[in-house]
Structure 1
Amino acid sequence: MNYHVTFDRDAQSFWDANAESLLRHESEYNLMIGITLGIISAERTWGELSCFTVRHGSKIVGQAMHTGGDKPLILSSMSPGAVDALVDATIENDFFPERVSGPAETAEYCASVFASRRGAKTSIFQRQGIYELREVIWPPPDGGKLISGTPEQRDLTLEWAEHFVRECFPEEPEPKALAEDMVKNRLGAGHVYFWETAEGDIVSMAGRNRESPNTATISWVYTPPEKRGRGYARSVVAHLSQLWLDRGKTACNLFTNLANPASNKAYVSVGYEQLLEARIYSIESP
């Protein structure tokens, strides 16, 4: 049987075809699922959506998605043969990504195939851990509480969001613009939260980035350097995760930069477990 790749720009059509396959690994594929459902619900818009479904015979064996510009091509786990078919299909649609992102082995192979077609080289842009929590391990109480961000806290949210982008994505060319997008889409929707101490000081931030049917993705975790080492990030992540479990989700998930062992340790301490390593590869122009 041969591989066959379907190209689609419609999020609903892509979801109708791939929902069952993607939801078998809901936390692992939270990014692709969340983007798709965000577009369908009109929570988010993207400049240009390109979706690819890879089949072997009648069986779906892989998916890929690109949201325009210099964003990476997002991959599900798939075999080398499926990747070869995917690369052929993207080239047929006049598309060469600058980066690819997905489960480590798939992303590495996909980047190498694209690079060989262009006479280019590849390099690891970032190693990420995808973590999942199903039950919170509570940190020691410190008298603080989780509070929802308000429009009055826009300046603080924007400042911390920009610091978050600069620390986590140092090669991001427009960190302020990305932070402004986060504030615009998350703060007004009630998806930004802070940890407030017993004295009334706001010391840490986290947000609900996206949802899938049974999970919520936590992101934008930031504590100012002078406030670190006191467990505030653990507290805000633990309580925000529990909030979404209380709202009916069966799990929460998050991405981490594996080059930052301190934050990874903090997430594990409140109940997150690593499911897989994902990698972002850059494909350098020849």
Structure 2
Amino acid sequence: MNIYHTQDVQSCKEEVESLLVKREAENNLPLGLLKNFPDSKSEQPPSLIYIKDHGRIVSMAMRTPPHLWILPSISTTSQETIERLVHFIVENNLELPGVLGEQQAVQWFIDACEQAGKFSAQLHMRQGIYRLDELRPIDLQSGELIVADQSHLSLAKQWFRQYAIELDEPMMKEQAEQTAESMISDQKMHLWVVDGEPVSMVNQARVTPNGVTINGVYTPDHFKKKGYATQATYHLSKKLLNSGYQFCSLYTDLDNPTSNSIYKRIGYVWAGNSVVYHIQTLKGTDEK
């Protein structure tokens, strides 16, 4: 096996995209990042690793600092390839704040890290990845979906901050104002409005070769349990499918049965599981 490490997004994309597209909904995160990175506002270059066996790609990993390592869903990924990946990351002193991705691959990754004797891993979230090809009819409520504009900026900053708090995502909380400004500027933030008042938000996120991802579904506490998130997600999904995307995808917190039931009711179908681990370097371990 040969391991290749690069910061060249285009060359990596040419190597791995056809493999990732085989499970496009599951791999919406790495596909979307590879597609959109030239337009990213990140100040640090990505870290892209792919592994070849007898000349063909069998696995890959990527990281866009300061975020976690991403392990896509690839049928040819094996325990051996993941162990070699971890060894490469450790030997080359690459930052290792955590990992997220396909459940089995992540478990192999965590096992290899702990066997190295230098790291401690903690489960942060269990996620489901869902795909929508066709909407199911639901009972429609009064209200309308609008694209957020600059007049909603203060509200957007507050809601993105609260959304991050609910998810227990400190980095997301720190970036809440920047995220709000970007989503409004790019016309990706949508609001469900009832009687002239915004009551829930939903956002268009990454684009993949054939699909689009929805994220940031949030309803303030005093508006919850009224079906607003369902209405917002339904109408944005409909808008995106009607605009030409073949499917929509999204992540759910598997430990939040309410959110999972919302998406299933609309027509989203389970596509795979993803797990998120945070990793710490143990004190007193030698560093290269």
Question: Shared fold (TM-score greater than 0.5)?
Answer: yes
Q: Distance in 1 between matches of 2:138 and 2:192?
A: 13
Is 2:19 the counterpart of 1:17? Answer: no
Q: What corresponds to 1:283 in structure 2? A: 279
SS state of the match for residue 165, structure 1?
Answer: helix
Paired residue type of 1:274: W
Q: What corresponds to 2:155 in structure 1? A: 156
Paired residue type of 2:153: R
Is 2:87 the counterpart of 1:88? Answer: yes
Q: What corresponds to 1:186 in structure 2? A: 183
> Which of 215, 222, 233 lines up with 2:218 in the alignment?
222
- TM-score relative to the length of structure 2: 0.92
Is 2:97 the counterpart of 1:107? Answer: no
Q: What corresponds to 1:142 in structure 2? A: 141
| Matched-pair contact (CA < 8 Å) for 1:108–1:281 | no
| Matched-pair contact (CA < 8 Å) for 2:202–2:218 | yes
Is 2:33 the counterpart of 1:35? Answer: yes
Q: Distance in 1 between matches of 2:97 and 2:149?
A: 37
Q: 1:92 to 1:121 in 2, by over 3 A?
A: closer
C-alpha deviations, 1:207-264, integer Å up to 9, x for none?
0111112111101101111111111101110110111111111110011111111111
1:164-175 mapped onto 2 (5 Å cutoff) = 164-168=163-167, 170=168, 172-175=169-172
How far 1:273 moved relative to its partner? 1.2
Q: What corresponds to 1:6 in structure 2? A: 4
Paired residue type of 1:273: V
| Matched-pair contact (CA < 8 Å) for 1:27–1:132 | yes
Tell me the C-alpha RMSD between the 2 structures. 1.5
| Matched-pair contact (CA < 8 Å) for 2:153–2:181 | no
Paired residue type of 1:72: L
| Matched-pair contact (CA < 8 Å) for 1:112–1:122 | no
Is 2:263 the counterpart of 1:267? Answer: yes
| Matched-pair contact (CA < 8 Å) for 1:46–1:67 | no
- TM-score relative to the length of structure 1: 0.93
Q: What corresponds to 2:193 in structure 1? A: 196
Q: What corresponds to 1:235 in structure 2? A: 231
SS state of the match for residue 127, structure 1?
Answer: strand
Q: 1:26 to 1:110 in 2, by over 3 A?
A: same
> Which of 237, 240, 265 lines up with 1:244 in the alignment?
240
Q: Distance in 2 between matches of 1:49 and 1:81?
A: 24
Deviates more, 1:94-103 or 1:113-122: 113-122
SS state of the match for residue 24, structure 1?
Answer: helix
C-alpha deviations, 1:85-143, integer Å up to 9, x for none?
21222223321412111111110110121222133332211111111111112321112
Q: What corresponds to 2:286 in structure 1? A: none
Identical amino acids, percent of aligned pairs: 28
Q: Distance in 2 between matches of 1:119 and 1:58?
A: 32
Q: Distance in 1 between matches of 2:61 and 2:281?
A: 22
Paired residue type of 1:73: W
